[in-house]
Amino acid sequence: MEPVARWRNAGGHNLLQMMYEDPTRWSLTFQTFVQLTMVENHTKLSDKPVKIMERSLYSAKYCFVENLKESGKMPLSEYEVLTAWFNYLVNSPGVDLDVDLIVYMRTDPKVAMERVLRRSRGEEHLIPLEYLNCLHQLHEDWLIDEKFPLPAPVIVVDANKDLSEMKEEFHKQQQILYGEVNDNYEVVDKENDLEIVDEKPGGKDSLNSGVKRSLTCDERKVKRVITSPLASLNRN
């Protein structure tokens, strides 16, 4: 899960609300803390064979921070500070931020808006649909069009369904989520029923193709999966 509780109570300060109320003033403070908590999530040890994280250091940078810059809510000087920290972290051999799989929960912004309103999280009453439209496009830019580097293979899931349908969908994908994804396979979404097929060397990925780049688990023995939803499913 995202460490939302920590964002809402950083030594008694609700950084999430402060950022929504005055993003120009507080976006650097908030995103710096997000970066810290995401690194902690990435590097936290686990005794389970699969570690699943909701969003990541990468989506924070390539989607949320980019959106703040593009919308003019974050000065370029502050953007460069966050970018420098991000580049240092992902290129530091002493910080293990490896990822084995990205699950892109592709959601229409209007559906995401309905979920935001349904869960009624206090700080999010300030979120307009335009904000979700911009974030959706940045997720597309990153995970579909590869305008930013991909740290792992990507599978695309239709997340416009309700929670009960999504549980069934993820049950179908257990082989992909908990198994191996490597250079010999490609994941293809055919009417939201994912299947694994032989990868064609040199072939061009289609819009719904899952594997964008291959990376297998190493000696860690723990497979790391990150999800990239626009808005979480029916969660407080």
Confidence band, pLDDT 50/70/90 cuts, at residue 161: confident
Token duo for residue 150: 């991909």
The pLDDT value recorded for residue 47 is: 84
Annotated active-site residue in 2, 54, 78, 186:
54
**Known catalytic residue: 54?**
yes
Query: Going by CATH, does the domain composed of 4-229 fall within 3.40.50.300?
Result: yes
pLDDT at 26 > cutoff 90: yes
Q: How far apart are CA 29 and CA 10, in angstroms?
A: 11
Percent of the chain with pLDDT over 70: 73
- The whole-model pTM stands at 0.76
Confidence band, pLDDT 50/70/90 cuts, at residue 207: very low
pLDDT digits 0-9 by tens, 57-82:
999 999 999 999 999 999 999 999 99
